[in-house]
A and B are shown apart, each in its own frame.
Chain A
């Protein structure tokens, strides 16, 4: 079993959050976020306000002993508000660098689609390059670095929807919804504890452990038949009748990386078809463009991915 320190990473995260009463029906979302860090990707969380998107990202950062920052994206936000800028120091007579909130480990870009396309581009460029350039000087961002952007699927007024090319930069799109009635009741009962619990969470691993996990996840074994399976899924996504633009090779890479991380978080040193199935939906759902006639009929990209998974045979024997 692969371990970080003395624990299986995700099992430890989960146990800690259950103990503190923070984990209520968001296990899948939390695991995807953790997998995203291990796979060196970025996550787009889509959900209505008040479904614990911020709490989840914050709790994960605390448990992994990582620095967490949050930016509230607004239309008047400028790129330099994110990446930083030089200010003139009258005492020394020199320009001093004031680093922006991007210099962190986990950055929560709340309501990313409210920022102007220019600001979005600056952020997405930093996500891709893992570095920022301020006044001609390039600064490497500290690893691990993950952007968790959120967007509200309902409110569209006053927003700048992310183009497909930029959506492709996110390794996963996690669609998060309301808890069940039971979960909701549970949450209400524990609301006072939850408020303090996030602040009181103690790290279970060090930053170095997380970096080690990133390295180890790369060495997770992938059988040849698993590669075939991923290829078949991505190719099948292009053949679906409702699809205008299917999965790109980058989508296949995303599935592979996430599947490795998914297996690693479970303490396995090899990928199984279940890992691929588990990550295919969040890895593909934002990369598929539907034909308008199917879109108006109410077909969703999630349905398409599920159709694909129900059609492609798993490796045999």
Chain B
């Protein structure tokens, strides 16, 4: 009876697996069924939704880090703020909002890389040459620095310098100013860096990238997405109406405290069940269950017995390799354990000592208990006592034969 249950369970498991495979193949053809209880608000639980939520939170933290700082120096000095800003820059790079060069330059500045590294990070060769000259100059006047500052501002205004190069150049300027103690230029460069990073984080490109991601969530991500946006106060995203325009009319239900509730929560439709393939699948499953119950009741015990023997033999083969180096009484003991566990159906647990196992199986072994006790004693002496004598081996061998039913 016990075997019948085991076989039934196995067949059901196989059926469940095969059904899963069939469904996976039909996935594209099957109608999409609502996943939740009727009335339960839908939430974003796909990877894209999670990714977007994380992205918004990351950008909000970076913006907050920049906006709550009085100077760029404050961002550099604060490990947490520095990491937030660096993380946001890298993310924007991954999203394609910033070029690879810009990401390198900006990261070098925020992470406070050395002067040579910073100079190398500037991608514009002419600008780099100019800055190297200024950096190497033995005597730099405040006017020189001011001129360079104005020059950089002009390049920026005309769009002739990338954000990364501009920030890196300003950072070089800031460092040179520190060297000579020119506070005015230092403050101006510091402010320029901070403002530029802030502008990057709030740029139209960033908003556009987020909008694209939202569009990808058009089907089921809106409520939670908006809730996330609401919690990340630093991010200025398109207004609600604007979002709805982007993603179209929302079809999902949402809790009352959500920013939007376009209609009453929608109920899942049952139209999918009318599909012929689904009906056929259900009939097939019922048929298989009936057949398997019949087969299990008829051939279950024989099959289970064969299965158990196969598993036991496989285990035995592995253990034999381990045991080859051990003394004969030790090998005989483990073979005896297999015999005893087959007779008594009591397996030796890993946490059970040889004496504990002997105590447990002895009442079930009848006349064979004495033989197993002898084998166990021989094992103990050889394994832990380090005694491997002919006598012990002989005693173990004789007892093992008795146990196996081969006589002495």
Residues of A with Cβ closer than 8 Å to B?
221, 223, 225-226, 268-274, 277, 309-317
Contact = CB atoms under 8 A, between A and B. Distances in A.
B351 A314 contact: yes
Given A272-B353, A272-B355, A274-B353, A223 B322 contact: no
A311 B351 contact: yes
A313 to B, nearest CB: 4
A277 B385 CA distance: 17
B70 interface: no
Nearest to B330: A317
A272 B384 contact: yes
B392 to A, nearest CB: 13
20 contacts: A221-B384, A221-B386, A223-B384, A270-B381, A270-B384, A271-B384, A272-B353, A272-B384, A273-B353, A273-B354, A274-B353, A277-B353, A313-B350, A313-B351, A314-B350, A314-B353, A315-B383, A316-B350, A317-B319, A317-B334
A294 to B, nearest CB: 22
Interface string B365-404: 0000000000000001101111000000000000000000
Interface in B313-369: 319, 322-323, 326, 330, 334, 350-356
B353 to A, nearest CB: 4
Interface in B231-286: none
A82 to B, nearest CB: 42
A298 B343 CA distance: 41
Contacts of B380: 272
A2 B321 CA distance: 36
Given A223-B386, A312-B351, A317-B326, 8 more contacts: A221-B385, A223-B384, A270-B386, A271-B384, A274-B356, A310-B351, A317-B319, A317-B322
A2 to B, nearest CB: 12
A310 B352 CA distance: 8
B355 A309 contact: no
A240 B352 CA distance: 20
Contacts of B353: 272-274, 277, 314
Given A317-B322, A317-B323, A223 B351 contact: no
A314 B326 CA distance: 17
Contacts of A268: 385
B385 A269 contact: yes
Nearest to A309: B351
Contacts of A226: 384
Contacts of A315: 383
Given A313-B350, A314-B350, A274 B383 contact: no
A223 B386 CA distance: 8
Interface of B: 319, 322-323, 326, 330, 334, 350-356, 380-381, 383-386
B316 to A, nearest CB: 12
B385 to A, nearest CB: 4
Contacts of B383: 223, 315, 317
A180 B9 CA distance: 47
A310 B356 CA distance: 12
A115 B24 CA distance: 75
Nearest to B319: A317
B396 to A, nearest CB: 14
Nearest to A311: B351
A27 B178 CA distance: 83
Contacts of A272: 353-355, 380, 384
Contacts of A223: 383-384, 386
A274 B380 CA distance: 11
A314 B353 CA distance: 6
Contacts of B330: 317
A311 B352 CA distance: 10
A105 B356 CA distance: 36
A78 to B, nearest CB: 48
Nearest to A313: B350
B240 to A, nearest CB: 46
Contacts of B334: 317
Nearest to B386: A221
A270 B385 contact: yes
Contacts of A309: 351
B327 to A, nearest CB: 10
A271 B354 CA distance: 13
B274 to A, nearest CB: 52
A313 B356 CA distance: 13
A137 to B, nearest CB: 47
Contacts of B355: 272, 274
A316 to B, nearest CB: 7
A216 to B, nearest CB: 15
A51 B356 CA distance: 29
Among the interface residues A221, A225, A226, A316, which one has the most CB atoms of the partner chain B within 10 A? Answer: A316
A226 B319 CA distance: 20
A161 B334 CA distance: 49
Nearest to B387: A270
A262 to B, nearest CB: 13
Nearest to B350: A313
A311 B351 CA distance: 6
A221 B380 CA distance: 12
Nearest to A268: B385
A314 B330 CA distance: 15
A31 B18 CA distance: 61
Contacts of B319: 317
Contacts of A271: 384
A273 B352 CA distance: 9
Nearest to A312: B351
Among the interface residues B355, B356, B385, which one has the most CB atoms of the partner chain A within 10 A? Answer: B385
A225 B330 CA distance: 14
A256 to B, nearest CB: 14
Among the interface residues A223, A310, A311, A314, which one has the most CB atoms of the partner chain B within 10 A? Answer: A314
A271 B384 CA distance: 7
Among the interface residues B326, B351, B352, B384, which one has the most CB atoms of the partner chain A within 10 A? Answer: B384
A316 B319 CA distance: 10
Contacts of A310: 351
A316 B349 CA distance: 11
A311 B349 CA distance: 10
Nearest to A316: B350
